[in-house]
Structure 1
Amino acid sequence: MPTRQPTYDRDATEVIGGVGNDGNIPGGGPKTHKKRNRKKIILIVVLVPVILAGLGLIGAGLYLHNVESNVQRVDAFTQVPEASRPQKDAAAKDATNFLLLGSDTRDPENEGGSRSDTIIVLHLNGKQDAAQLISIPRDSWVPIPKSQDGKHGGVDSKINAAYAWGGVPLMVQTVEDYTNVRIDHVALIDFAGFKEVVDALGGITVDVETSFTSTHSLSASHTRHFDKGVQKMDGAEALDYARERYAFKDGDFARIRHQQQVIKAILDKASSGGTLSSPSRINSFLNATTDTVSVDKGLNMLSMATQLRHLRSNNLNFYTSPSKGTGRVGDQSVVLPDTTKAKALFEAVRKDDTATIEKLGVEK
């Protein structure tokens, strides 16, 4: 039995899930210049193709030259042992699976911008007319494979430890081992980037599920309050809504729901006639997303735009990987996966069985 390696909570000197204390991303390349390292945002994976497709593929092709030049690339797969990777089911040969990873680098709780807070498997069906986004809670207690340098992993830990210990490649390997789903593409998001994206769109509309006061203070004497019901939010409000967790009994699960709400609201606004008919708004939107994007080296933007051109919020469904709730392992608070239900859910993803995904997914 391998020895469990130490992990740290947010109040400790090191935090699971991202860059190390030396500023480097393990397995993800050296630290870049601060001006270039405006952490990553993955909204491009769904949103930019929708915008470009709305312009028409000829117009999209012209835009994509500029888009491609601003997109940073990450080596996501060459360090993942091919022998360990699941193979695609024949029934899912035309389906595509994205791994969306993210953190909130400007969250006051996030010391050093070092946690991978968001892990989503996005499954685009073989017909390319619908997608399911399945969030895996960051504190899910799962087996982590050995990192390439052999210094970490080989133990059970919180799933976001994989990113801290081995960067994108180890996270890919960990998610593939846990889900038995082969990942085709990877992209990274910084939820702090929501602010610029939402403001570029002129705000979004969100149906707040319950009234609450944010625990993120605007000043020493001022906090932001959200009332239950439909509200229009600017970028700062949407960011606060998407990052809050301490105001809710179900903590991170509420944050997952709210992040999903904000993604859906941004997609609604991005694909609306008002945005598509405004060149200045399109440019503002693209500038707010593409200059902070990282995707894997094999992702072709034009092909992606073609694949995702039919997606709108009404054919996107959001789920959360099944769990048995929270518990404790040693001194750590963790999410305990329901491995039986999760195995059945991701087997449906592997086989591109949309009906079963919708039946088994824990919708949020």
Structure 2
Amino acid sequence: MTGLPGGPGPAAVRGLTGGCVVDVVVVGGGIEGAATAWALTRRGVRDVLVLERDTVGSGGTGKSSGVVRCHYGVPSLAAMAWQSLRLFEQAEEVWGQDVGFRQSGYLVGVGPENVRALEANVAAQRALGIDTRLVDHDTAAEMWPAAELKDFAGFAYEARGGHGDAYRTCHALARAAKRAGARIRQHARVVSLLTSGDRVTGVRLADGSAVAAATVVVAAGPWSGGLVAPVGVDLPVRAMREPVLLVAPGAPLAESPVLSDLVNLQYVRTEGPNLLVGNSDLAAPDWADPDRYANLATPAETERAALRFAARFPGLPDAAFATSYAGCYDATPDFNPVIGPAGPEGLFVAAGFSGHGFKIAPAVGTLVADLLCEGASSHPDIRGTDFRLERFAEGRPLASRHPYVGAGEMR
């Protein structure tokens, strides 16, 4: 625990109503908070308390579409996804239970304007050890026989990618952390941070009680910015609503790889007997209140999705929308997370995952533990400094080295 600061001290603890003192309090019981608690306990930090406003995994984690891929143009993100994927493969051994990971594969297709970027990204990912390769149209057609693929100019395929269950994974991480000594309190909404002088010393809960802590990790998704603003931290994280639709294909389908369609800007994967269809066009974000937003796709969103889906899958003439739901990304201006110390001493942020959170969560927890305990990342390919909050004020956003025209936000 060499990187953890000293405790808040007697002066910070006096007068707490129903208070307690811990080494680390994690605000948020979603997948990033659970991963942080798990990783800290692995490093020997046992006195960890996770405070969740509702129930574990009930926020954005429970709305995740669960895609697992390593296809990123930011090397640190690609390496984090690769590290996490290998943990998903070993979930029962590492976390003690199956987390619903289906290794169906991941296929990304691009138009002519993005072929060079695709080739460069695959080369960079392979240099990191990631199991990915370019494939041709015939190979892609074998994976998705019902799809029209002529407008794609190139494909990349990850055989070890696929999709998982973010909610189950979150609970597996939380249980593993608890077995190692961490505590988790549900229905414990944090309303403010406690400070003494120039440091954060704990948190105040909605019931008036308080927790003093040497370190506070805010991993509260789209609620994170509001929590840290009163202590002078400008965290540019906003809730961005995204609908997901489930399509009844009209005919039995074998499980196929996740298809990331960077021509029509959609992604499609199997979900039981149905297909899950999501949006990859983030050019016009739908900013929302994370406590009050439309939980179903609107008629306009459904129509737009239907047109894209029908153009890509003419081989499914009897397909029909079955249902929909919507969730919120905790998005930053560069669509990459903030992971690191922020503002007053004792405050740490892990938020702004912008739709990437599930697939990199185990590595996020490990990075948080590294930074808190040692002050630097332990992984040679994951640069902790990439995710500094200060990059926004400095005008140095984190961006893909080989962005895709039309879909640069998510790659």
TM-score, normalised with respect to structure 2: 0.22
Q: Which has the higher strand share?
A: 2
Rg larger in structure: 2
TM-score, normalised with respect to structure 1: 0.24
